[in-house]
Amino acid sequence: MILLALAAAVAQPSPVVRTDDGPVRGETLAGGSAVFRGIRFAAAPDGPLRWRAPRRPARWTAAVDAIRPHAACPQPDYGEWNRAASESGKEDCLFLDIRTPRLAASAKLPVLVWIHGGANRGGAGGGTVESTITDGGIVLVSIQYRLGALGFMSHPALSAEQGGPSGNYGLMDQQAALDWVRRNIARFGGDPAKVTIAGGSAGAQDVGLQMLSPGARGLFAQAIEQSGTAGFGVAPRTLAQNEGVGTLIASKAGLPPAVSAAGLRAVPVERLLAAQEAVDVPDLDDDSFIWLQAVVDGRVLRETPAAALAAGRINPARTISGVNAIELSLHGGLPAARATVAREFGSQADRALVLYGLQPGGTPVADPRLGDVTAQLANDLTFRCPTVAVSQRLTAHGLPVWQYQFDHAAPGGGVTHGGELSSVFNVVPGAPLRAYWTNFVRTGDPNGAGLPNWPRYDVKERGYLSFGQDGPVATRDLRGDICGLRDTP
């Protein structure tokens, strides 16, 4: 009987789906689900297509294998977390992966589109579809987009060539992938009218920016921001400022000030990546945030995140937004803390110094779960308070929001940036993010049978769900004393 079962499994045909660009061949998995790895959604953005809006690929007629892992987008090696992606990086990288529990156009299953993180300068989409989150009756899509200078650099020569704006090519890639999903996902069992976009860290920022970009209107119905917002708590850049950064990168790459667009495209990718790493970004304390400042280029983003959110110029979406109890450390550590408070809290700085215990003669405040004062300050400024500000803006415009803070770790341990991802894509006892997320993707509400109630956020109660060591608990007013002093999305 075992041999017969194995033989039957081996005999299962590889599924072929005909997209509107051409047929792709995937892999059949146990239980009748299927996975497709490396479906091309745009032409290779290299050579003359470097620093241009993504274009549809040339159509093909013979089935293309979409079974094996594919290249990531070019990126420096920042350590173990992205080393494999760095080693596989190629400019021909605009691929998406799909895992579906039911490969039938009649299924009309809700769709989760994942936008990976990595500071918009590292990371990859590969591997995400190995998750069995699709067992909850959803289709999972993971997309890639151009990173770093290749994905977000502006330059006067590029702006002149492209009718005024340049930059934000990575956001355009995401929109091209979402448009591909709209056109094709029904053939993989998904419902194009029930698309949730989600991301972590820079991926969450990109989710927030897509909620504000006219080019993304109509491409999704719901959104999940995990540890990131459109503004990320830092001042946005104008097109001119981003062109200035691009000019610095070109100079570091050995190019003359009056370099042409063609001259920029002739730079080997390795030299370009080295040049972006060598730039000291004006008015930015931590240069690792170089591509985390939203760029108001005038085309993809027409106004600052704060202005768009205040005015309600938002692509409407039901939203989950949250943070980890501890994310990243404060650049400059304790010696920089007082100056950081003075700069970031403005007229409320004196009150903030007292709350953090940083006033003269004060004792810096430590917390057993939120960390020392530098961890609290870094994560309030970059994650918690921006999340609160965005929740308030969305709610004020009538959009449903569910807010959370994640602090579930092994006994005696703590969480860190990205620590919640395992609970989303795997089943982790005591931290049922996967169940809440699946409910949200399916119904537009994270609540469901057997789960503690997650209150919808409102500006009066400010309720959120705390995923603590003992499981989820509804509470209210995330970091209200501090975030009440700062209103930056």
* Other C-beta atoms lying within 10 Å of the C-beta of residue 367: 12
State the pLDDT at residue 32. 83
Report the SS3 class of residue 211: coil
pLDDT score of 8 = 45
| 368/43 Cα distance (integer angstroms) | 50
Q: Are 41 and 94 in contact (CB under 8 A)?
A: yes
Angle, helices 239-252 vs 269-278, to 10°: value is: 110
Contact status, residue 20 vs residue 183, Cβ threshold 8 Å: yes
Q: What are all long-range contacts of 364-368, with beta carbons under 8 Å and residues at least 24 apart? A: 364/334, 364/337
List own/partner pairs for 460-465 with CB under 8 A and 24 or more apart.
462/388, 462/391, 462/403, 463/403, 464/322, 464/402, 464/403, 464/404, 464/405, 465/402, 465/403, 465/404, 465/405, 465/436
Q: Are strands 237-238 and 295-296 parallel, antiparallel or unpaired?
A: parallel
Strand segments, DSSP code E, in 80-226 are 95-100, 109-115, 139-143, 190-200, 222-226
Residues of the chain with pLDDT under 70: 1-12
As given in the structure block, the two tokens for residue 53 are: 């809006």
What is the reported pTM?
A: 0.96
Tokens of 415: 């969480």
Question: Taking a C-beta distance cutoff of 8 angstroms, is the pair 411, 401 a contact?
Answer: no
Q: Which amino acid is at 198?
A: A
Alpha carbon distance 34, 192 (integer Å): 18
In degrees and rounded to multiples of 5, residue 186 shows phi and psi of -60, -30
User: In the β-sheet with 222-226, what is the strand arrangement from edge to edge?
Assistant: 27-28, 34-40, 95-100, 139-143, 109-115, 190-200, 222-226, 318-324, 401-406, 463-468, 471-476
Cα–Cα distances in angstroms (integers) from residue 87 to residues 71, 124, 183, 202, 277, in the given order: 9, 11, 32, 21, 17
Say what the pLDDT of residue 410 is: 84
Q: What is the pLDDT of residues 406-418, one digit of tens each?
A: 999 988 888 999 9
Q: Report which DSSP code applies to 330.
A: P
**CATH architecture for segment(s) 15-313:** 3-Layer(aba) Sandwich (3.40)
| CA distance linking residue 158 with residue 166, whole number of Å | 6
User: Per-domain residue ranges for the chain?
Assistant: 15-313, 317-328+378-489
Report the C-alpha gap between 264 and 250 in whole angstroms. Answer: 7
Return phi, psi of residue 427, to 5°: -95, 115
Region at 387 (left for phi over 0; alpha for psi -120 to 50; beta for the rest): alpha
The string of pLDDT tens digits covering residues 184-202 is 999 999 999 999 999 999 9
* Range list of H helices, 399-479: 421-425, 433-443
Q: Which two tokens stand for residue 90?
A: 């190629």
What kind and span of H or E run contains 295? strand 295-296
The whole-number pLDDT of residue 90 equals 98
Nearest-angstrom CA–CA distance, 113 and 174:
10
Question: What pLDDT does residue 283 have?
Answer: 86
Count of CB atoms situated within 10 Å of the CB of 214:
13
pLDDT at 351: 98
d(CA 402, CA 422): 20
Query: What are the Cα distances from residue 329, in Å, to 38, 311, 335, 345, 409?
Result: 35, 33, 13, 18, 18
Q: Which residues contact 471 (CB under 8 A, 6 or more apart)?
A: 408, 430, 431, 452
Q: 3-state SS of the chain: helix, strand, coil percent to 5?
A: 35, 15, 45
d(CA 395, CA 392): 5
Q: How far apart are CA 372 and CA 439, in angstroms?
A: 35
